[in-house]
């Protein structure tokens, strides 16, 4: 327990978790593309941005998709707006259920109602005994269904009906509440009983407090039973909490009455003496990692006894020394010093987001008890562990037959990456924006970064394009395609679709070629520019971190879809207003100057898991040197005329492991190895070999003495060296 904050606490009381049932009336207009936290659920939350009502609305995109609302009391009617398009022979229903298992149909909607594409209003009466209301796509035979402005009202009753109000809100049966107080002092939890019947009186037979720590709680108002509460009247009662010792106290309040729904009604009390829960005695154990990839891994640990949950912290590159503060609840994305909160959870399995290749990730797991401002962390000796993601996931055999000297290089690469599994353009938000680009940030938000500008944009989960301001950018512009079919795999190929901001990047770039804006810059957002290149042509220049990725995405599209008589060469004329094309020289220069980042490598591997094909120019950037993208023919001369700085070459030189004792591996990203030599500290060459333009080389060092050496690699861009240690 972090003692320093105890003096900051004052008494508190509040509900500590969301009820499973929605109190009536309940409603949702899906603002923020989110469902209410209480009582509303779905087997897939998607949002519909088409015709009619202001977006978003709830989207039903497949057979079996449903929206379910579990209510706490008798419903009266439900109102909602509905729309569809190209509905065909499909069927959509409004259903209700008493038990949540057996549903009956309230209304059925078919092509006659849903083919128009415009929202229409509905008002349907519900059975007063129903507690589950479900909207469900029974059979999809055409377009999607959109649902908006759902309101479920409470039935008007004349009979006695009890509403239990705790801390100012209507309680559901078996809900739980927390209350804190200093030891020896008291605090009152507001507690009222209301009769919502309009005619009959409500009789309360008893209100009892039981449980392990019942003596710490009492009714704040002296009552005589049976207690009569007249129609539309309220009895103010209150719960007094006077702790005799620190830590967690538990009790149950039971109300017996002649209520028509709940003749026996209970709610739970959780009291915190000295305003903090009892501190856990043990940390979780045995942190392990599995399913390790460049873009994902799974963490797992063994739970500790008598613990409510765990705060999991993460950090990139170094161990975690930070600790949480008692009395503070943290959301995913919150920052504690240099560490970030992965999640607060009672689950012992976790899947971090924002994972990239070849990176060290450190974790610390803290046990805690309590909720809200009563949360108490065990901060000594947290469970810790770390994992390094894979550097890449290139299948060993993918490029074994590729020869950059071969005149069939283009078709050879094409045959490796085609055909592939098609993912739909409409699925990009869920599959790419949310699952790969999205990461946690403060205030319970998530954030994505515009690829072109580097600017960040926050959003509320789940991601949708309408509210985030983002878009799917065709890097190889859609207007450059030699053929047009928005349902074809080239339109939705995720290797070509980059996540960018619509107004700050996509709309500015439009279908202009990429280049370096050196004059007349009229837009400069983040690290991007729109202006004229050295030839006086208007071009779009993305930030440096995106330049290599842009080039390699365009190279991929040109090779992947040059097939069946169609040539996807770079355009030399875009339109009457852009009477010039995309220069390949600048793209090849970017490909060299900005080799694949760990992020780009992870993205390539992740898309491979979705599409079952890779971008070969991320795996082997040097391949681009041997293709003339102006006609999609082999180019024997390579990239010898293009320049690369010494600093860039040094950054691209990889030696691992280092230190080493038996074997090392060397590679220079973006080029091939011509030869290498190992030099001792006296300047003598102790090992050398011509490597014949390989991508990477395994070198045995077991025959060399222990000590420090320099390894020097020769590439077509010059020589580069690095110090190594042989153990």
Residue 3 has pLDDT above 60, yes or no: no
Q: What is the dihedral of CA 326, 329, 332, 338, to 10 degrees?
A: -30
- Which burial class, exposed, middle or buried, applies to 289 when counting CB atoms under 10 A from its CB (0-12, 13-18, 19+)? middle
C-alpha to C-alpha distance for 208 and 484, rounded to whole angstroms: 73
Report pLDDT for 55.
65
Report pLDDT for 363.
99
Number of other CB atoms surrounding residue 400 within 10 Å: 7
Could you tell me which of 284, 303, 278 has the C-alpha nearest to residue 375? 278
pLDDT digits (tens, 9 = 90+) for 558-582: 999 999 999 999 999 999 999 999 9
Number of other CB atoms surrounding residue 576 within 10 Å: 6
C-alpha to C-alpha distance for 204 and 193, rounded to whole angstroms: 9
Do the two domains 162-273 and 646-726 of this chain adopt the same fold?
yes
Mean pLDDT of 498-511: 97
Taking a C-beta distance cutoff of 8 angstroms, is the pair 503, 469 a contact?
Answer: yes
Instruction: Read off φ and ψ for residue 415, nearest 5 degrees.
Output: -70, -20
At the top level of CATH, the class of 162-273 is mainly beta
Number of other CB atoms surrounding residue 604 within 10 Å: 27
Radius of gyration of the chain (CA): 32
C-alpha to C-alpha distance for 69 and 51, rounded to whole angstroms: 25
Give the whole-number percent of the chain exceeding pLDDT 90: 76
Extract the tokens encoding 310: 């765990």
Residue 689 contacts by C-beta under 8 Å, 6 or more apart in sequence? 675, 676, 677, 697, 699
Q: What is the three-class DSSP state of 8?
A: helix
pLDDT digits (tens, 9 = 90+) for 508-518: 999 999 999 99
Report pLDDT for 314.
98
Fold observed for domain 285-388: Immunoglobulin-like (2.60.40)
pLDDT digits (tens, 9 = 90+) for 73-130: 889 999 999 988 766 678 999 999 999 999 999 999 988 888 777 889 999 999 989 9
Burial 448-487 (b: 16+ CB within 10 A, else e): bbbbbbbbebebbbbbbbebbebbbbbbbbeebbeeeeee
pLDDT digits (tens, 9 = 90+) for 630-647: 999 999 988 876 767 777
Mean pLDDT of 472-488: 97
Taking a C-beta distance cutoff of 8 angstroms, is the pair 135, 60 a contact?
Answer: yes
Q: What angle do CA 705, 709, 710 make, to 5 degrees?
A: 150
Mean pLDDT of 506-527: 96
Residue 5 has pLDDT above 50, yes or no: no
Instruction: Read off φ and ψ for residue 585, nearest 5 degrees.
Output: -60, -45
Peptide bond into 659 cis (omega under 30): yes
Peptide bond into 723 cis (omega under 30): no
Give the whole-number percent of the chain exceeding pLDDT 70: 95
Supply the DSSP string of 544-597, one letter for each residue: HHHHHHHHHHHHHHHHHT-BTTB--PPPS---SSS-S---HHHHHHHHHHSPPP
C-alpha to C-alpha distance for 147 and 255, rounded to whole angstroms: 39
Extract the tokens encoding 628: 């003339």
Architecture of domain 646-726: Sandwich (2.60)
C-alpha to C-alpha distance for 647 and 668, rounded to whole angstroms: 12
Q: Where are the domains of the chain?
A: 26-154, 162-273, 285-388, 409-634, 646-726
Report pLDDT for 116.
72
pLDDT digits (tens, 9 = 90+) for 187-232: 999 999 999 998 999 999 999 999 999 999 999 999 999 999 999 9
Taking a C-beta distance cutoff of 8 angstroms, is the pair 41, 130 a contact?
Answer: no
Q: What is the three-class DSSP state of 32?
A: coil
Q: What is the three-class DSSP state of 649?
A: helix
Q: Number of helices and strands (H, E) in the chain?
A: 10, 50
Report pLDDT for 87.
67
Q: What are the angstrom distances between the C-alpha of 690 and each of 249, 354, 676?
A: 75, 40, 7
Report pLDDT for 111.
84
C-alpha to C-alpha distance for 481 and 168, rounded to whole angstroms: 61
Burial 38-70 (b: 16+ CB within 10 A, else e): bbbebeebbbbebebbebbbbbbbeeebbbbbb
Q: What angle do CA 674, 417, 543 make, to 5 degrees?
A: 70
Residue 545 has pLDDT above 60, yes or no: yes
pTM given for the model: 0.78
Peptide bond into 25 cis (omega under 30): yes
Q: Three-state SS across 599-642? A: HHHHHHHHHHHHHCCCCHHHHCHHHHHHEECCCCEECCCCCCCC
State the residue for tokens 């606490």: 9
pLDDT digits (tens, 9 = 90+) for 362-414: 999 999 999 999 999 999 999 999 999 999 999 988 899 999 999 999 999 99
pLDDT digits (tens, 9 = 90+) for 663-703: 998 988 777 888 999 998 888 889 999 987 787 889 999 99
C-alpha to C-alpha distance for 491 and 493, rounded to whole angstroms: 6
Residue 274 contacts by C-beta under 8 Å, 6 or more apart in sequence? 6, 9, 180, 182, 183, 243, 246, 247
- Measured between its terminal Cα atoms, the distance across the chain in Å is 44
Q: What is the dihedral of CA 688, 693, 695, 700, to 10 degrees?
A: -20
16 — pLDDT class (breaks 50, 70, 90): very low
Strand pairing category for 120-125 and 169-170: unpaired
C-alpha to C-alpha distance for 117 and 559, rounded to whole angstroms: 40
Report pLDDT for 646.
74
Report pLDDT for 12.
46
Strand pairing category for 75-84 and 145-154: antiparallel
Taking a C-beta distance cutoff of 8 angstroms, is the pair 332, 341 a contact?
Answer: yes
4 — pLDDT class (breaks 50, 70, 90): very low
pLDDT digits (tens, 9 = 90+) for 18-72: 346 888 999 999 887 778 878 999 988 788 765 455 667 898 888 999 999 999 8
pLDDT digits (tens, 9 = 90+) for 125-172: 999 899 999 999 999 887 888 899 999 998 877 789 999 999 998 998
Could you tell me which of 492, 491, 508 has the C-alpha nearest to residue 455? 508
Extract the tokens encoding 495: 């290797």
Q: What angle do CA 492, 493, 499 make, to 5 degrees?
A: 80
Taking a C-beta distance cutoff of 8 angstroms, is the pair 417, 493 a contact?
Answer: no
Q: What angle do CA 349, 355, 360 make, to 5 degrees?
A: 90
Fold observed for domain 26-154: Jelly Rolls (2.60.120)
Residue 548 has pLDDT above 50, yes or no: yes
Could you tell me which of 383, 182, 190 has the C-alpha nearest to residue 269? 190
Extract the tokens encoding 113: 């109602």
Number of other CB atoms surrounding residue 423 within 10 Å: 18
Report pLDDT for 86.
67
Report pLDDT for 54.
63
Residue 596 has pLDDT above 70, yes or no: yes
Handedness of CA 479, 481, 487, 493 (dihedral sign): negative
Mean pLDDT of 311-321: 97
Mean pLDDT of 489-516: 98
Handedness of CA 656, 659, 660, 666 (dihedral sign): positive
């Amino acid at each position: 327990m972090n003692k320093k904050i105890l003096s900051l606490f004052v008494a508190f009381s509040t509900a500590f978790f969301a009820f499973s049932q929605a109190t009536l009336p309940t409603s949702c207009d899906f603002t923020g593309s989110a469902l209410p936290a209480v009582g509303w659920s779905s087997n897939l939350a998607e949002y519909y941005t088409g015709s009619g009502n202001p977006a978003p609305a709830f989207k039903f995109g497949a057979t079996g998709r449903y929206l379910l609302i579990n209510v706490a009391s008798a419903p009266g009617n439900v109102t909602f707006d509905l729309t569809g398009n190209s509905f065909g022979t499909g069927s959509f229903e409004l259903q209700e259920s008493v038990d949540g298992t057996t549903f009956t149909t309230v209304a059925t909607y078919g092509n006659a109602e849903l083919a128009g594409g415009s929202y229409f209003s509905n008002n349907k009466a519900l059975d007063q005994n129903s507690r589950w209301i479900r909207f469900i796509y029974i059979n999809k035979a055409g377009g999607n269904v959109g649902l908006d402005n759902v309101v479920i009202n409470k039935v008007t009753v004349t009979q006695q009906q009890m509403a239990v109000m705790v801390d100012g809100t209507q309680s559901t049966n078996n809900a739980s509440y927390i209350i804190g107080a200093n030891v020896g002092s008291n605090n009152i939890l507001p507690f009222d009983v209301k009769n919502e019947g309009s005619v009959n009186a409500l009789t309360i037979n008893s209100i009892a407090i039981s449980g392990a720590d019942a003596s710490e709680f009492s009714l704040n108002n002296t009552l005589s039973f049976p207690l009569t509460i007249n129609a539309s009247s309220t009895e103010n009662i209150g719960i007094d909490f006077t702790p005799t010792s620190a830590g967690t106290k538990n009790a149950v309040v039971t109300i017996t009455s002649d209520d028509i729904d709940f003749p026996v009604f209970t709610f739970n009390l959780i009291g915190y003496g000295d305003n903090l829960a009892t501190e856990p005695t043990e940390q979780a154990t045995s942190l392990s990692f599995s399913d390790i990839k460049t873009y994902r891994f799974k963490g797992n640990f063994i739970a500790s006894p008598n613990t409510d949950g765990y705060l999991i912290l993460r950090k990139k590159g170094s161990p975690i020394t930070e600790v949480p503060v008692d009395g503070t609840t943290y959301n995913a994305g919150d920052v504690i010093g240099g560490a970030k909160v992965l999640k607060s959870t009672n689950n012992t399995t976790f899947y971090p987001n924002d994972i990239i290749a070849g990176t060290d990730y450190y974790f610390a797991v803290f046990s805690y008890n309590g909720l809200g401002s009563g949360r108490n962390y065990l901060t000594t000796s947290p469970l810790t562990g770390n994992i390094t993601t894979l550097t890449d996931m290139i299948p060993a055999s993918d490029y074994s037959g590729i020869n950059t000297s071969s005149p069939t290089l283009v078709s050879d690469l094409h045959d490796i990456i085609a055909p592939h599994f098609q993912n739909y353009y409409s699925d990009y938000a869920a599959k790419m924006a949310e699952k790969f680009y999205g990461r946690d940030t403060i205030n319970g938000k998530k954030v994505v970064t515009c690829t072109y500008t580097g600017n960040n944009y926050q959003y509320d989960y789940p991601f949708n394009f309408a509210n985030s301001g983002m878009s799917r950018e065709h890097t190889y512009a859609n207007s450059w395609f030699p053929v047009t079919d928005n349902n074809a795999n080239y339109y939705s190929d995720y290797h070509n679709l980059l996540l960018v901001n619509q107004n700050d990047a996509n709309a500015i770039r439009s279908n202009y070629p990429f280049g370096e804006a050196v004059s007349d810059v009229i837009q400069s957002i983040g690290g991007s520019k729109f202006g004229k290149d050295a030839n006086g042509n208007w071009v779009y220049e993305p930030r440096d971190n995106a330049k290599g990725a842009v080039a390699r995405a365009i190279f991929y599209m040109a090779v992947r879809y040059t097939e069946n008589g169609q040539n996807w060469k770079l355009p030399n004329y875009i339109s009457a207003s852009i009477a010039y094309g995309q220069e390949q020289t600048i793209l090849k220069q970017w490909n060299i100057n900005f080799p694949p980042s760990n992020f780009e490598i992870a993205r390539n591997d992740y898309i491979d898991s979705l599409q079952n094909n890779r971008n070969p120019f991320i795996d082997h950037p040097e391949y681009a040197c041997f293709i003339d993208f102006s006609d999609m023919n082999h180019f024997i001369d390579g990239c010898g005329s293009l320049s690369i700085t010494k600093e860039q070459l040094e950054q691209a030189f990889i030696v691992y492991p280092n230190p080493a004792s038996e074997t090392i591996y060397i590679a220079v990203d973006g080029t091939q190895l011509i030869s290498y030599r190992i030099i001792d500290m006296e300047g003598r060459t102790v090992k050398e070999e011509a490597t014949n333009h390989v991508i990477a080389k395994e070198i045995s060092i077991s025959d060399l003495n222990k000590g420090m050496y320099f390894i020097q690699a020769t590439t077509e861009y010059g020589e580069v060296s690095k110090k190594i240690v042989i153990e």
